[in-house]
Amino acid sequence: MALMIGSRAMDSSAPSQAGAREQRAQATQAVQRGRTLMAQYQCGSCHHIPGVSDAHGANATSLAAFGQRSYIAGRIPNRPEMLARWIHHPQELIPSATMPALGVSTSQAEDMAAYLHSLK
Ligand code: HEC
């Protein structure tokens, strides 16, 4: 039984490498979309965000090196799905959050989260 599982894993190594390449390409595209979307939604009117045009706002915290942060807004674990939820609707995670919901869709928020997590 263990041997069969082992040989199946070896047989599938070529396609899984191609799959990993495809996944990396998709991740890169999400990061690029996220950067463009954050400029469009003017996140930079409140935040400083490296790499996003006109993002020099000082009303809220800088999002520089956000990929290295442990927490979102000081208390939510900074995981990709949590960050996307925060961007989509901050008050769903923290009712007293002072960042406004900006009408960002779920998939747009995922792309923005991918960009922010690429900042190291
Ligand atoms: C009107 C100003 C404003 C705009 C526009 C804005 N934010 Fe915020 N943002 C805030 C404030 C204020 C906080 C702090 C919220 C809190 O702690 O209650 C915050 C917090 C955050 C955090 C957590 C920061 C930290 O230090 O943990 C992230 C990430 C974030 N915003 C992303 C975005 C993104 C992405 C956009 C664009 C879709 C955006 N923000 C647009 C005001 C803004």
State pLDDT tens for residues 18-39. 999 999 999 999 999 999 999 9
Strands (E), the chain: 71-72, 76-77
Q: How far apart are alpha carbons 34 and 21 in whole angstroms?
A: 20
pLDDT in tens, 59-111: 999 999 999 999 999 999 999 999 999 999 999 999 999 999 999 999 999 99
Q: State pTM to two decimals.
A: 0.90
How far apart are alpha carbons 19 and 83 in whole angstroms?
25
**pLDDT-based confidence at residue 9 (cuts at 50, 70, 90):** low
Alpha-carbon distances of 67 from 45, 79, 85, 112, rounded to whole Å: 20, 9, 16, 12
Ligand 1 neighbours, Cβ below 6 Å, are 38, 41, 43, 45-47, 59-61, 63, 72-73, 86-87, 97-100, 102, 104, 112, 116
Residue 15: the pLDDT is 75
Q: How far is the CA of 114 from the centre of ligand 1 (A)?
A: 15
